[in-house]
Each structure stands twice: as structure tokens, then as C-alpha cells.
Amino acid sequence: MTVPLLELRDLSGGYDPIKIFEGVDLVIEAGESIGIFGPNGHGKTTLMKTISGVLEPWSGDVIFAGERMNRASARGSRRFRNFNYDAVTRRRMDPKRVARAGLIHVAQGNLLFPEMTVAEVLSIAPLASGGRNLQGADVHALFPRLTERRGHKIRYLSGGERQMVSIAVGLLAAPRLLILDEPTLGLSPKLRAELCASIGAIRGLGVPMIVIDQDVGFLTALIDRLYLFDHGRIARVLPKADIPDHDTLMTMLFGEALT
């Protein structure tokens, strides 16, 4: 039996003291990609931040490539509390460890490093272990626009270009699983089409993804399964063949009353 790429077991989390999502169970097998669809403000981004270790899981486990990414509990190390940084600072998950294991999170609306140039940002991504290794040339082939922008500072880029740099940095880190959180949010139609094509090409290279987006058509082309997220829980799981159009999906989530 092969080890699943990512496994979430009864995961819950949020921003203390408000719990945002709970009881999330999810398994991604090797080579699979999934999509997450749901209304804004229901915990999709919070879930992704918890998987990548930016936020602390409240309970449950994040297991990536057979390795548990979170510590069991800060209470477990009570004996060494005074000497253990992680206990003192209540760290249970280390974003660096998650990223170096190959789970790369391209954050929503990532502002990156405003005062650095595109070339500088692309030069500092550390390599994760065991992922698909793309070289700088591959990235420039995927995002030709970035080649022209090499010497520009990030703060002079448009939102779409910044998103491209974000994804490019993620790719250079040799991801085994790429999380794309609303990559096309707020982009002009032209840039949006360009970015969607690039993301499709990345999927074509065999990079597994978790994609969050509001465009069901775009999602369906990329993924094997769609998770419907509602009020901090997974409401339904749809295999690729059963994914309906946008309106039917909204009805599924909100019931007849809202249509």
C-alpha cells in the first residue's frame, strides 16, 4: 500500500478564541489534485494556513507523505517546559518544516517582498526534498511575463504579476504538493486567462495541487475531486465526473431557498 500524499485527521483550528473549521478529514493519494469550493468567510483559507503551519491546529493531525507535521501537544513536554522553546512559545507546527517537506502554500493575495526585485525573489527559494525540481528556465517558460520584469521591484508589479512570482517561487522550491489559494482573485480578464493557462501547464507537468477558486469550470479542468466547504466543515465530496455547473453547485451548498 502506498502512503497518501496528504492526510488530515479530524483537524480543527481558527483564530483564538474563535474556532473557524472543525472535524476536517481529507486524504489526497499520490498524484491526485483536489479543489475546494465554498462561500467566502467559511474557513477555506484558515484551513490552508493551518495545513502549512502558519496557524496552529487546535486538534487533529496533519500528515504529509507519511510524516506527522504537528507535535502531539505542548502539554506532552511538560517536564521540559522551561527549556523548550516550542512549549514556551506554544509552537506545535513549523512552517519551514512543512515547506521543506515539499508542501508549498502560495498564499492568497501574497504581497511577497515589496522592496526586492523579481530576480532576487526567485533566487532565494530553498529546495524542498523529493519534489519535482523545476529550474529557473522552466519557470520563465511558464511565465514569460516575468522574464521582462526581472529587474523590477515587487511593489511595482500588478496583482497578477505578483501572483505569478508567488507561484514561480513555489515551483522553484520543488513542491510535492502545491496549494493555490484563490490564485485568480481580483485579476483583470486578460491576466486571469494568462494565469489560468500557466496553472494548467503546471498541472500538466505533474505537480499535484490543492486549488481554491470560485470558478468551477477552471477548477474542474485541474482536479480529480471537489470538496464543498460550508461553515467550517466539508459538506460534500464530488468526484470529477459528478461536478455540476456553478448554479447547481450553489444550490447544493445553500439549498433551494437561496436560488
Partner 1 sequence: MMSMDTFMAVATGGLVLGAIYALMAAGLAAVWTTLGIFNFAHGAFIALGAYLGWQIAATQGAGLGLVAGTLGAVLVMFAFGILVHMALVRPFERRADIVTASVITTLAGAAIIESAINLIWGPRSRQMPQLVRGEVDLGLLRIPQSDLVLIVVVACVLAALGWFLGRTRAGRAMRAVSQNRQAAELMGLDVPKLYALAFGISAALAGLAGIFVGGLRFMTPTMGTDPLMKALIVVILGGIARFTSPIYAAFLVGMVESFSNYHVGLYWTPAVLFALMIVVLFLKPSGLFSHHQRTL
Q: Which residues bind partner 1 (CB under 8 A)?
A: 52-54, 85, 88-91, 95-96, 99-100, 104-107, 110-116, 120-121, 123-126, 128, 166, 169-170, 173
Closer residue to partner 1 in complex, CB, 99/209:
99
Nearer to partner 1, 38 or 53 (CB): 53
Report the nearest approach of partner 1 to the CB of residue 181 (Å). 11
Contact 190, 161 (CB under 8 A): no
Length of the chain: 259
Q: How far is the CB of 212 from partner 1 (least distance, A)?
A: 15
Q: Tell me whether residue 202 or residue 253 sits nearer to partner 1 (CB atom).
A: 202
Q: How far is the CB of 228 from partner 1 (least distance, A)?
A: 26
Least Å distance, CB 14 to partner 1, is: 17
Q: For partner 1, which is the closer residue by CB, 111 or 193?
A: 111
Q: Considering the complex, what minimum distance in angstroms separates the CB of residue 74 from partner 1?
A: 12
> For residues 140 and 153, which CB has a smaller minimum distance to partner 1 in the complex?
153
